Amino acid sequence: MKLRFLKPAIFGILLLVMPVLFFFLPSLIKVNRVECKSQYGPCSTFIEDEVKKAQGLSLRGAKAKVADLLKSETQIEDFSLHFKIPDKLVVDVVMTKPKFALKAEGEPQFAMVDKDGVVLRWEDSTNLPFVETPDAIPNVGETAKPSQIFALNIMYEVFSAYESQMGKIKNTSLVIATNDGLTVIFPLEGDRDAILGSLALVLAKLKESSKDSRISVREIDLRFKNPVLR
């Protein structure tokens, strides 16, 4: 008979205790290990070092610390945190995908740049279209100059259409050598679609020309209202 009344009492106590435990437990559990990974594999050394600052904190404190660190990182698009018993916090990050790259003249590394022109990180090599510039490259988290962003977008379209990966900013122009041996000179401002349309039209007309034609074009200058062929 006593057991019949005892079971509801225990159940009631558990209902009262569990919310309390749920609230205080994250403050009592200590995080001794932090593991970080992204969609590309392990996190970069910089991000890894940042999230490891949460080691030794309570679970609640570690989660708050990592969240504050990652929210300010422009190279991270999203992240999630998972606790694994007994003492490990797993950080899954989604890295912002770069669209193209900038390279300082004479320097070996590439600044990876997103679609808005923000520098995300530095890498030793790249398969993305890139522009080499004599000017200084912004720091991580900063935005490239309008002329650099314009050049990068031109470079991206030329890479997509004609597979030329690299261009160089020279004075006030973007110079790209195509795989067909042509040199194309672009302005660093203007109507991008119109400029690229002019290039496509000129290349189409050159292909229509007879191979026996005496006209030999090695350079296309698109800085003027009408393209100049040399």
Q: pLDDT digits over 108-152, tens only?
A: 999 999 999 999 999 999 999 999 999 999 999 899 999 999 999
Topology of domain 28-95, CATH: Ubiquitin-like (UB roll) (3.10.20)
- At residue 20 the predicted structure's pLDDT band, cuts being 50, 70 and 90, is very low
Rounded to two decimals, what is the model's pTM?
Answer: 0.79
pLDDT for 22 beyond 80: no
Per CATH, is 100-229 categorized as 2.50.20? no
Maximum Cα interatomic distance, the chain, rounded to a whole number of Å? 111
Question: In which residue ranges of the chain is CATH 3.10.20 found?
Answer: 28-95
Please tell me the predicted confidence (pLDDT) of residue 25: 63
What is the distance between the alpha carbons of residues 151 and 190, in angstroms, rounded to a whole number? Answer: 11
Per DSSP (E only), the strands in 43-156 are: 76-84, 88-95, 100-104, 110-113, 119-123, 130-133
Closest Cα to residue 116, out of 95, 140, 139, 144? 144
Question: In which residue ranges of the chain is CATH 3.40.50 found?
Answer: 100-229
